[in-house]
Structure 1
Amino acid sequence: MQKSLHIIPEKCTGCTQCEIACSMEHEGIFSSSKSRIRVFKFHDEGRFVPYTCTQCAEAWCQRACPTGAIDINARTGAKEVLATACVGCKVCTIACPFGTINYVPDSGKVAKCDLCGGDPACAKACPTGAILFIDAEATGFEKMRAWAAKTDTGASATA
């Protein structure tokens, strides 16, 4: 069974523990700027929203990569950057509509969420449960389809 990150924005307090845990897991230092997850701050509204790679089924970053450096991990389903194949051209960063794959100047390559090999540090570190690692079928498109079915007003039947 594939699992994926599920973010519940209304539970996020903006503590950035997810960012710190991610940077420690991947870079060995506590630095939000080196994290593969970010907490977007809506200061005027007093809201915070964690965001990271959604591991798209039809990943634009993967399709755009001219060297095939983004591959699917068969165990986790994560689209992972293969450092040995990445040439740092940044085409994938342009292709990603969500801005969740980033160029890393220190390495000259790109980095994105890889689900920490199936045990995401961000989800473990989140003190409020705003980031969960759950069955992939409970997230994404199928969840939206179920919600739409519950709220169907019949408008589509007349179209």
Structure 2
Amino acid sequence: MQKALNINADKCTGCLQCEVACSFEHTGTFNPSKSRIKVFKFHDEGRFVPYTCTQCAEAWCLQACPVEAISYDAETGAKVVADSACVGCKVCTIACPFGTVNYVPDTGKVAKCDLCGGDPKCATACPTDAITYVDASMTGLEKMRAWAAKTDVGLQAEA
């Protein structure tokens, strides 16, 4: 069973525990700027939105890599960057339409979410369950249900 990160921005408090856990897992430092997940802050609205690679089926990053440094992990479904093969050309950063593959100046390579090998630390660290690691087939269904519930309420209000 494939699993995926499910992000519910309505539950995010902006605590940045996900960013800290991710940076520690991948770099050994507690430094949110080195995290592979980012929390966007919408100060005017008082909202926070965690955002990271969605491990999309199209995998433009994987297809664009000229040295085949990005591979598909069949066990986790993650598209994983092999540091030993990455030449830091940044083609994958351009190919990703979501901006979730990032160049890391410290290493001269790129980095993206790799689902921590099937145990994503961002989900483990999230105190509000804004980030969960669930059966991949459930992420779309739950989002559709939530949207439908909001739409139904909106339609009832108009009546």
Same fold (TM over 0.5): yes
Q: Which residue of 1 aligns with 2:157?
A: none
Q: Which residue of 2 aligns with 1:49?
A: 49
Query: Is the contact made by 1:70 and 1:80 (CA closer than 8 Å) also made in structure 2?
Result: yes
Q: For residues 51-130 of structure 1, what are the structure 2 equivalents within 5 Å?
A: 51-130=51-130
Residues 32 and 147 of structure 1, relative CA distance in 2, 3 Å threshold: closer
Amino acid at match of 1:108: G
Residues 143 and 107 of structure 1, relative CA distance in 2, 3 Å threshold: same
Amino acid at match of 2:103: Y
Percent identity (aligned): 71
- TM score, norm. by length of structure 2: 0.89
Residues 132 and 148 of structure 1, relative CA distance in 2, 3 Å threshold: closer
- C-alpha distance in structure 2 between counterparts of 1:117 and 1:27, whole Å: 15
Q: Which residue of 2 aligns with 1:156?
A: none
Q: CA deviation at 1:67?
A: 0.8
- C-alpha distance in structure 2 between counterparts of 1:2 and 1:129, whole Å: 19
Q: CA deviation at 1:18?
A: 0.2
Q: CA deviation at 1:147?
A: 7.5
- TM score, norm. by length of structure 1: 0.89
- C-alpha distance in structure 2 between counterparts of 1:80 and 1:3, whole Å: 15
User: Which residues of structure 1 form unaligned runs of 5+?
Assistant: 152-159
Q: CA deviation at 1:100?
A: 0.6
User: Which residues of structure 2 form unaligned runs of 5+?
Assistant: 152-159
Give the secondary structure class of the aligned counterpart of 2:76.
coil
Amino acid at match of 1:52: T
Q: For residues 131-150 of structure 1, what are the structure 2 equivalents within 5 Å?
A: 131-140=131-140
- C-alpha distance in structure 1 between counterparts of 2:114 and 2:96, whole Å: 15
- C-alpha distance in structure 2 between counterparts of 1:41 and 1:101, whole Å: 19
Q: CA deviation at 1:148?
A: 8.3
